[in-house]
Amino acid sequence: MTTQKIPTPPTAHKEHTETTMHGAVLADDYAWLRNKENPDVTAYLEAENAYAEAVMAPLAGLRENLYQEMLSHIKQTDISVAYREGAYWYYARTEEGLQYPIYCRKRGGPAGPEADAREEVLLDGNELAKGHAFFSIGDTDISDDGRWLAYTTDTTGFRQYTLHIKNLAVGETQFNVAERVGSVVWAADNRMFFYTVEDEQQKRQFQLYRICIRRINQSELIYQEDDERFNIAVGRTRDGKYLVLEIASHTTSEARVLTASDPTGEFSIVAPRQDEHEYSLDHRNGLWFIRTNDRGRNFRLVTAPVETPGREHWTERIAHRDGIMLEDVALFAGFFIACEREDGLPRLRLWKFAGEGPEAAPSGEIVFPEPAYSAHPHINRIFDTTTFRYAYQSLVTPDSVYEYDVSTGASTLLKQREIPGGFDRALYASERVHATAPDGVKVPVSIVYRRDKFAKDKPGNNPLYVYGYGSYGYALPLGFSSNRLSLLDRGVVMAYAHIRGGGDLGKTWHDAGKMLVKRNTFTDFIACVEHLTAAGYGDPARVAIEGGSAGGLLMGAVANMRPEIFRAVLSHVPFVDVMNTMLDSSLPLTVPEYEEWGDPNQEEYFRTMLSYSPYDNLRAAAYPAMLVKTSLHDSQVMYWEPAKYVAKLRTLNTGGYPLLLVTNMQAGHGGASGRYDYLKEIALDYAFLLRELGIV
């Protein structure tokens, strides 16, 4: 019998620096890791990668088995539900062995593509990705006549997109127009289009350009946003009649509009920006339909005439409700769908118009059968229609596309993702429970497990996995994952904590977990874990937790607060160096983020952030096993945050569990871009968790 020789972990050298702020001294021995051009930085990251591979080497067979398992549950050659826009039906398809989707269209009418219609390939991600380790398509838009395609691509992972224009009539990309592009939209004349550009320092979209396809080298700057809190984006109303310039921070927004058939005109303001006022809009029959939070945090719906859109002319259509969040309004010629969230679950409610006017009455609701699920509008490009497409999935039901008949209230399943490899939905069950936070607040938790592996008569027998995020008002989606079957089939109970800071219970839920009360996010998560183990959903000695980005901050904070209740931590691109990042206004996203975390230049916010910043609160303690993952070209959470975090933790961790740092040297915030490469990353994660939870 041979014993694996445990490799020696790498050690990052120290270069002591100090920053004094509000009377506090922030000591940092690893600030030098910020210098990407320093060969010592690359050497350290590569040494950590080599160490992680060495530690995981005995699990090579398990990783391959997991990869093959997950691959077996994917229909590799598949096609999406086609949707109609103009004279065409659009869809995407995948082919076995190819990393990226192929985007296509066929001519057709309301009934579907013509029987003998030729397939046109619009974009083949596999061809475009050749020669690049990373590839991503960003925004796309097609001119009304179907001739011109504007699209953006990123080949580094830094979310820095190049704008291209393809002539679909000849099948050639003819122009590379601009760099650092965010959104793009065509005007109604099929010649003029608009695009936004980010600034080089903050990576925020701040300029709007107008350009004519006949004068492709003569872009005209028509708007610049100088307030560093705000990003801009450009689009069109669903009826196609107006261009909309959206200008928004985390807490304030403004919309400017221009008739799409008069693209050389001037954008006009609908409602001037006012701090803490957020609104969005769409158009129907000469009226703006405006979703606004002017009367309450959960938004209401009003209308206003196009000619006189000021707030004094707003007429209420759906009032603000304390317990129901109005998340969106999908507006059509004869009806609209109010996309709401109640008790943490999405609702799709139908309102029908009585005629051409704005009066509408509630006319039903799309009912969903499961205790925990996700539902939202699918692609609906036709304004004058009697059907509405929506997407539905749950922890046990694969992602599905339905078409809802507004007249009859009947939903027709158009496609449910096929899960090959022997998936039997009846083997799995989901539940929804509530944990009690330290201040008495009830926090929803969604749970999924395999029925025959979960021994309810032997509580606490199963390993437990808990996922959390809890920031930016983002409601944690409860989607289906065929990858997840590899854990469920091995007896892992999986739970998703809908903690404060997220948007699961509306804007007030977000407010209760940000800025000066951010600690609620962390104590909520701990309460969820303790409730689940106390209720018998998992073995207290075998708890794994996962989070990414702001969810990685969550992982770092709770590991500092209660390291003894976790056995393993999986942390993706974690925002763990909070103080150094938020004190550096030159970094991308920092200034806009003041509205989520607070401005550390103000002492009250500084003290609050310092109290939970994972990097600054690392201490001598026995930490759980950790797999910390990052990407060298991440533009949202810079690679050096997790790198510094791991380097410092190595000097303080008194426990004997593995501490691994894995850096994707060729990707960005989302990790690998190809679907097969991404599966290999998940296989690494799962192998790590399964070993630490004692399953292998």
Active-site positions read 549, 634, 669
| Cα within 13 Å of Cα(265), Cβ side | 16
Which element (helix H / strand E) includes 254? strand 253-259
CA distance 112 to 35: 55
State both tokens at 570. Answer: 């999986």
3-class state of residue 24 by DSSP: strand
Distances (CA, A) of 577 to 34, 36, 441, 550: 12, 17, 29, 11
Closest alpha carbon to 514 in 468, 471, 562: 471
CA gap 183, 237 in Å, rounded: 14
The two three-digit tokens of residue 40, written as one number = 């010592």
d(CA 66, CA 483): 9
Which residues have C-beta within 8 Å of that of residue 581, sequence separation ≥ 6? 575, 587, 590, 638, 641
Distance CA 645, CA 654 (A): 15
H or E element: which one contains 230?
A: none
Whole-angstrom distance, CA of residue 7 vs CA of residue 57: 11
Q: How many residues does the chain have?
A: 696
d(CA 456, CA 161): 51
CA dist., res. 318 & res. 338, Å (int): 9
203: left (phi over 0), alpha (psi -120 to 50) or beta: left
369, containing H or E segment? none
* Interatomic CA distance for residues 367 and 411, integer angstroms: 10
Amino acid (1-letter code) at residue 559: A
The identity of residue 535, as a single letter, is A
Alpha-helical segments (H) within 57-210: 60-72, 125-128
Distance CA 408, CA 386 (A): 10
By C-alpha distance, which of 68, 27, 144, 34 is closest to 482? Answer: 68
Spatial CB neighbours of 124, under 8 Å, sequence gap ≥ 6: 100, 102, 103
CA 497/CA 444 separation, integer angstroms: 6
Token pair in block for residue 666: 């060729």
Residue with tokens 């006022």: 277
**CB-based contacts of 408: which residues, under 8 Å, 6+ apart?**
none
Distances (CA, A) of 445 to 280, 477, 554, 618: 30, 12, 16, 28
CA–CA separation, 94 and 537 (whole Å): 38
Q: Around Cβ 537, how many Cβ atoms within 10 Å?
A: 25
Alpha carbon 640 to its chain centroid, in Å, reads: 22
Residue 189 backbone phi and psi in degrees, to 5:
-85, 0
Tell me how far the alpha carbon of residue 401 is from its chain's centroid: 20
- Beta strands, E only, 378-492: 387-394, 400-405, 411-416, 428-436, 442-450, 464-467
